[in-house]
Amino acid sequence: MPPFLASPDFFQQAQAGSQFAKPHTAAMDMFVMINLAFLMFMLAFFACWAWLIWRRTTQPEPHVKLLMELEDELAQEQKNAALRDLHSESTSEPRASWEREADWWRK
């Protein structure tokens, strides 16, 4: 039998006629199997959780996507309003009727 498939009782060969032949090997096997099963369960749980988080962030549901777009539009409108206020404050000094705006060449 290959050593990586052997159970602990394979390595603990009992003495002939010993009254303590292979002590607690069933309990050792069960302990190892339960711990491995629990470890695999926890790994699967965290893998599913990570996949769920990834899926929700890359492909949001339509109503969540709409809320995100509305939030972006509101932020953009606030930024534009702040820029307009800043621009209106900087150009509030009176000009002659023949003068152009300061940034006429940018248009």
Domain residues for 74? 60-89
54 lies in the same domain as 31: yes
- Tell me: pLDDT of 1 over 70: no
77 lies in the same domain as 52: no
Q: Is 15 a domain residue?
A: no
pTM as predicted? 0.41
State the pLDDT at residue 11.
Answer: 55
Please give the structure tokens belonging to residue 59: 């492909």
For the segment 46-69, the average pLDDT, to the nearest whole number, is 92
Whether the CA torsion 95, 97, 102, 107 is positive or negative: it is positive
Mapped onto helix, strand or coil, the DSSP state of residue 31 is: helix
Question: For residues 95 and 83, what is the distance between their CA atoms, to the nearest angstrom?
Answer: 21
Work out the mean pLDDT of the chain and round it to a whole number: 79
For the segment 10-33, the average pLDDT, to the nearest whole number, is 65
36 lies in the same domain as 48: yes
Could you give the residue ranges of the DSSP H alpha helices within the chain?
Answer: 8-11, 25-58, 62-90
